[in-house]
Structure 1
């Protein structure tokens, strides 16, 4: 038909008539025969071999075909040596695009490389990762399943089974293939096969009563009328696949109708049909619409291949003027020009890329059934230029609820669950949850990645979260309360110090220790000032200063209390019973020596601690998974414990002297006051250490501040507040006469007791 149109055209090749020979490539023998016959030189029945084929002329200047890749390999290999153009309309094997091996090969059908990409896109679109692949046992099928296997493996799709369909009367191997597919439990099978092998395969699929499987077909058989006409074919499941781009080609319908209905052809068919030729028996007018639907796209590919040669000749013969030249055209010249053609037929642009492949893509076809009649529905397309698969929104799946069939070996793991492969296929796995402080990275689904040191994650997590930085800021509500109490207590301490300084020579102040009271109050004020170092981010200076300075200042305070308690006991008890010891204490300034020695011991403990292992600001990552606690190192260390134990030792001495002086005159009896202060101190630090054992958060610093606050408050309330009360509200008790009368009463009681 193409030859007739071109010869009847007045513009394409005017005054030039094209002729042709037809060869049936039904076997390797006839295929090679046709190729070699066309290499014969004009008017000669032989092929003269020579080194230079520049001026070599063949019987035919170009060839269209053959239809299969297997035959095309032979033809392209031979013709390529002579640079004779070979344009196939149906050979799709990717290797034919190799211009080094096949320099003269071109085609008007896309290569299998593109077809494999389309099938892979279909598998990915519907998340089918557990599939079987079968192909015809020829170059077309072997190369197709090999490429698809490679590409599928790269994209996380597992091939549960693959096999080759032989073209043989012995169906044993095909039956075994069908059984193996069923045993793999796949729900999707790709059939990359030539149509005659596919017919054999689906006959056995029907015989085995295989149902509910999605069959993805290659372009060779997806629109094959004979497979679609099999009885009960619709029970096998859903059928979709890749088809050569559909072109509405009305001329070929009329051409075929006129040809088949001609009296000559009718007589020939009727006379040649017999019981052996089954295809011949089915070739009637009734089957013609089905036949042309199947063959239309391939007919157009052959049609456009002939036109490509004609357009190339149009340029070589300079036919633009309305008359073509009589120049001799050599095959290599035609090959160069065919590669450059670019024209339009039936709204289809025809040209070849550098590999000799067309720019066309593929259509996606899905089978549906109206009764027992199979209908090929166009459901989408794949563009070669954009490499994008487009499908209709609603597809008719042959399932109970029209849901997309699922074909996976193992269900996808949940959030934060890693895969543990259970077999040879990566698609078969168990799901293990990721533990805390790890996450599942989408780039590696088989291992849980650890979070960074400044990050955290719960169990079953697919990402890490930034840890919150925790410390006791100035603006925290709890901090504001503590700061207010510190400042208030510091002002009270200063006020008491001022009051005692003004009344330094009064009997109440002298009985409380006199100038030692000022030392005690100063040490308590310093202790309170160290509490300001517990707020905001810990620094090197604040960590090294706050605890040692508190320990030394508090030691001075307790040493003064011990000295005061001892002196009172000495005056009333030891002065008469042990006068020599009392004289030594008074003459050698025992009180000052004891305070100095006690303070020096505490200072030495602090110096050794700081020198050996000084406290430093650290970030605690281990206590809380989602927090970073900023604190000072060694909050409870050997050095800090030594300081606290030494203060506790002084407190025990206080208890001893308080017990010894429990029967002293009321104005000199400090037992109750000191005991109250010591009890508050002990309870405060017991509460702190208990909290330290069970809690290590940012508010531990606040608990430490509270312990110091209560310790200072205990001394102020238990030791100094009663004296302040007498000074301010009971001045009549703050006289020498009152204190002397109290001493006289105590002496009389002691004499009466003796």
Structure 2
């Protein structure tokens, strides 16, 4: 028989192959393995069941447990080898009876091994790879014996449903009249056991149709047996497969591999997917966390390409959103239990919100460990892989969990297809047989008798209420079918479609057409961008308790990455949070700072851990974490949470200082007027006539103006008041000093005129006196005019002198003009002082030299002191200093020049006679 098949196989090769598949041979023992009555019992059992469809039964194992080596009887022959009883025939699966015609040959063995596959011939074959089992027992490499084959355990009913969805889609396409009419699609469905080694093995099988365990000596040079591949579910096995099939140009369309790394077309040019990349999910999760105000979270991930790349994308998006991650732990279900326990302990003792970018198998292990010990409630934020897995709903500690999942969908007819199973139909597939026994055997390990009704079964396999990823499988098959259709079919003139099923379609052709597919199926659009990714749309799923405490998936919001950033996230329903609360959980390192304070990052900690410090002067904080400076004309309120207008301050008539200065000013003017009245009433008296009455009246008038001009410095500054106050002050004071200077010159000239031969008085008579006063005053008026024309004073708001208020004051405009006015006044005062000092020893009855000297001394002292006081006084006190200088110098002139004369006029009239004056003058001359 070996020669007929063209295969040369040695005895050792057969033994080695059988050994790899857990089919061990044993040497004859002294004590038979089975007694005769054992053999007879098994022979009767085999004879009774070998021709029945329901020939698969439990063989020495407990429900939910893998077959153990000690319970396996490798080979028990009956009747010369025509019947063989296999104990736990496939690794990790239940035992089965298999009828063999003749002796055991390699062809018979290969035929049996093919029962691990679900195949269907067609014109074009599509491969399917799913993680129908999620755990592989670790092989102990002792290097003293041949390693045992990989043993897959832990059936995933949802993944089984994915594989059935592929078969359903293929059969639906085969019955279609518009898509590939007359063409039949075939399929090969493989179980990768969520394992990289198994995925690599499957990739080789799909690439050339040759199982690497049977080395026939042929080269891998033939064309691929499949035109495209649907799967795998996990990212890491997918990457491993792409390393093999990618160089061969075989396109792979995944329904569940979401790693963002797979979008790299340089590394994975043949990869497509119908599920969005984790790059979008990571951004959506970060946006979700920021939306609910969580700034202090924990993160766990699968230690795989899916978890590591997904978490890396999330951490980057979280950093951009200002979210701090307290810890980021990685683990895998293949890690030692101590590692999973450590991750669980970290979760129990830290942040309230936990983001889990974890595969379903890894998450199942973690939650089982979390369930083992009482754990404080945590708000779980899940990635799509596990947060929409119905099998995970049994973990009540995740009640209130939220996460983004693929949109729910409806596949017409799919539920009927899933339920179209019977004991007779499942007997041809070990995978379906295992599912059937697991679904109906239950914990009681009941033997299936053919009366089971799948219509009554409540299991993830039959649950079509949450067809999310299942629809991604459905869309992937249709995408491949559309690509093949565009190659082998063409539309004729009469709108009929003609397809050539004999056309030799290469995978590279399908790859090229997949890039351009764009169609709609059951209302769902299917297309790929330049990276082979679809448009990212998600539903926000919330785990809510319903009737009798059962957890269910409830859609509470949506996220569409194709919309503008501010429109992507939309909440539709209320979320039920952890502990069945309606209040959003709080998860922050530091509470938000109250208004009026700012954040100060704690040394050595993330930016989310901070102390609250009061804002500095002039700064506020409201709803922000930092203080901001108020605008120039604003100042913080007492709480420093808002800016208010600064009060405007100026020297007002209504405040105490303004009232005092006003009273002094008006009082001084009244005294000057009263004195003028007294002088006028006694204008014919000796003392009035002896003191140059004309200049005295003019001096009193100018003093009254000096007193009154100070009023222009009080009140709200305006454009006119600013110009008036400085010009009026400058002109009136020059007029006043000019009069004093004129009186001084008259006295000096009069004394000189008494000398023999002097005619000085004719050169300084009344006309010359008037001209002198007018000339001096005109110069000041000219200076003021130039000042007003070139750069006049103007009102300004001074916000710098006081931080908390604005000083409304007059800017001098031109500093040169201002100091020129003051300098001219000072020059005249100095000249007057010098002349008065020279005339101090003249007779008292004819001059006022002494009083003028003292008055000028006071005047100069006041204004010399004024300069530093004016420069250093802040705000409105600058104006008060200037008013004080005006009033003080005016009173100095008034009291020294007029009060003594008024005293004589009013209280010593006997001295107000010409005789008295002449006598006193004579005495002074003799002296």
| Same fold, TM-score > 0.5, yes or no | yes
User: Which residue of the other structure, out of 684, 697, 717, is the alignment partner of 2:875?
Assistant: 697
Q: Is the 8 A contact 2:403 2:541 kept in 1?
A: yes
Quickly say closer, same or farther: Cα 1:690–1:84, change in 2 above 3 A. closer
User: Which residue does 2:204 correspond to in 1?
Assistant: 36
**Within the alignment, does 1:152 sit opposite 2:318 as a pair?**
yes
- The residue that corresponds to 1:513 in the other structure is 692
Task: Quote the offset at 1:479 in angstroms.
Answer: 11
2:380 to 209, 215, 240: 215
Q: Which residue of 2 aligns with 1:612?
A: none
Higher helix share: 1
Residues 435-454 of structure 1: CA deviation (Å, up to 9, x unaligned): 113566999x56x6667877
Structure with higher RCO (Cα < 8 A, 6+ apart): 1
Q: Which residue of 2 aligns with 1:249?
A: 411
Determine the structure 2 residue equivalent to 1:226.
391
SS at match of 1:133: strand
For the 8 Å contact 1:472–1:536, the answer to whether it is kept is: no
**Quick one: which of 54, 68, 73 aligns to 2:234?**
68
CA offsets per residue over residues 383-408 of structure 1, 9 Å max, x none?
A: 12115111235222234862110111
Inter-partner Cα distance in structure 2 for 1:538 and 1:271: 103
- In the alignment, is residue 83 of structure 1 matched against residue 223 of structure 2? no
Aligned to 1:611: none
Is 1:12 aligned to residue 179 of structure 2? yes
Indicate yes or no: 2:272 matched with 1:106: yes
C-alpha distance in 1 between matches for 2:349 and 2:728:
76
2:596/2:620 contact within 8 Å kept: yes
Residues 269, 280 of structure 1: 8 Å contact kept: no
Query: What's the offset of the Cα at 1:190?
Result: 0.4
**Cα drift, residue 458 of structure 1:** 6.3
Counterpart of 2:282 in structure 1 is 116
Contact 1:96–1:102 (CA under 8 A) maintained in structure 2: yes
**What is the aligned partner in structure 1 of residue 354 from structure 2?**
189
Matched, 1:425 2:628: no
Q: Which residue of 1 aligns with 2:467?
A: 296
The superposition leaves residues 41-61 of structure 1 with CA deviations (integer Å, 9 ceiling, x where unpaired) of: 8999888678xxxxx842111
Of 321-330 and 265-274, more deviation after overlay is shown by 265-274
CA deviation after TM superposition for structure 1 residue 179, in Å: 2.1
Q: Describe the SS at the equivalent of 2:188.
A: coil
- Structure 2 Cα separation of the partners of residues 47 and 500 of structure 1: 142
1:104 deviates by 1.2
2:558 is aligned to: 381
Per-residue Cα deviation, 1:521-557 (whole angstroms, up to 9, x for no partner): 4754774797698564699999997776666554455
C-alpha offsets along residues 216-246 of structure 1, whole Å, 9 cap, x if unaligned?
Answer: 111111133333213xx24x56311121211
Residues 550-561 of structure 1 aligned to structure 2 (within 5 Å): 553-556=735-738
Q: Aligned pairs, how many?
A: 693
Matched residue, 1:623:
801
Q: Which moved more, 1:203-212 or 1:684-693?
A: 684-693
Partners of 2:278 and 2:445 in 1: CA distance: 31
CA distance in 1 between partners of 2:643 and 2:819 (Å):
32
Q: Which residue of 2 aligns with 1:198?
A: 363
Q: After the TM superposition, which residues 180-579 of structure 1 pair with which residues of structure 2 at under 5 Å, given as runs?
A: 180-184=346-350, 186-230=351-395, 233-234=396-397, 238-259=400-421, 264=426, 268-269=433-434, 285-288=456-459, 292-293=463-464, 296-320=467-491, 321-325=496-500, 326-370=502-546, 371-386=548-563, 388-399=568-579, 402-422=582-602, 423-438=604-619, 507=686, 509-518=688-697, 520-521=699-700, 523-524=702-703, 527=706, 536=718, 553-556=735-738
Partner residue of 2:109?
A: none
Aligned equivalents of 1:509, 1:203: Cα separation in 2: 119
Deviation at 1:254, TM superposition (A): 1.5
In structure 2, distance between residues paired with 1:646 and 1:713:
15
Aligned equivalent of 2:191: 24
CA distance in 2: counterparts of 1:147 and 1:114, whole angstroms: 9
CA contact (8 A) 2:192 2:198 kept: yes
2 CA distance for matches of 1:87 and 1:507?
127
State the 1:110 CA deviation: 1.0
Relative to the length of structure 2, the TM-score reads 0.60
Q: Secondary structure at the match of 1:190?
A: strand
Question: Would the alpha carbon gap of residues 469 and 119 (structure 1) be closer, same or farther in structure 2, given more than 3 Å must change?
Answer: same
2:299 counterpart (130, 133, 140): 133
Which stretch shifts more, 697-706 or 454-463? 454-463
Shift, 1:372, TM fit: 3.5
For residues 178 and 545 of structure 2, the distance between their equivalents in structure 1, rounded to whole angstroms, comes to 46
Matches within 5 A, 1:590-739: 621-625=799-803, 626-627=805-806, 629-632=809-812, 696-698=874-876, 700-701=878-879, 704-705=882-883, 708=886, 712=890, 739=913
Q: Would the aligned equivalents of 1:530 and 1:549 in 2 still touch at CA under 8 Å?
A: no
With normalisation by structure 1, the TM-score equals 0.73
In structure 2, C-alpha distance between the alignment counterparts of 1:713 and 1:345, rounded to whole Å: 104
For 2:202 and 2:460, the matched residues in 1 are separated by 31
- Deviation, 1:303, is 1.2
Is residue 95 from structure 1 mapped to residue 261 from structure 2 by the alignment? yes
Shift of 1:619: 7.9
**CA distance 1:80–1:290, shift in 2 (3 Å):** closer
1:343/1:226 CA distance change after superposition, 3 Å: same
- Deviation of 1:381 after TM superposition, in Å, equals 1.4
The alignment partner of 2:520 has SS state of strand
Q: How well do the aligned residues superpose, as a CA RMSD in angstroms?
A: 6.2
Quote the residue 1:177 is aligned against: 343
Deviation string 1:612-656 (CA, Å, 9 cap, x unpaired) is xxx99998554211325544579999x99x959979x979x99xx
SS in 1 for 2:540: strand
Conserved 8 A contact 1:473-1:536: no
Mean Cα deviation higher: 478-487 or 78-87: 478-487
Structure 2 distance, partners of 1:365, 1:245, is 10
**Unpaired runs of at least 5, structure 2:** 1-167, 784-791
1:461 positional shift: 5.1
Deviation string, structure 1 residues 185-224 (Cα, Å, up to 9, x no partner): x110001100011011112222332223210111111133
Q: Secondary structure at the match of 2:459?
A: helix
Deviation for aligned residue 1:328:
2.6
The C-alpha deviation readout for 1:574-626, integer Å capped at 9, x for no partner, is: x9xxxx99979x9998xx9xx99xx99xx9xxx9xxxxxxx999985542113
Report the CA distance between 1:339 and its aligned residue: 2.0
Alpha-carbon deviations, 1:111-157, whole Å to 9, x = none?
11111111111101101110000011111111111111122112210
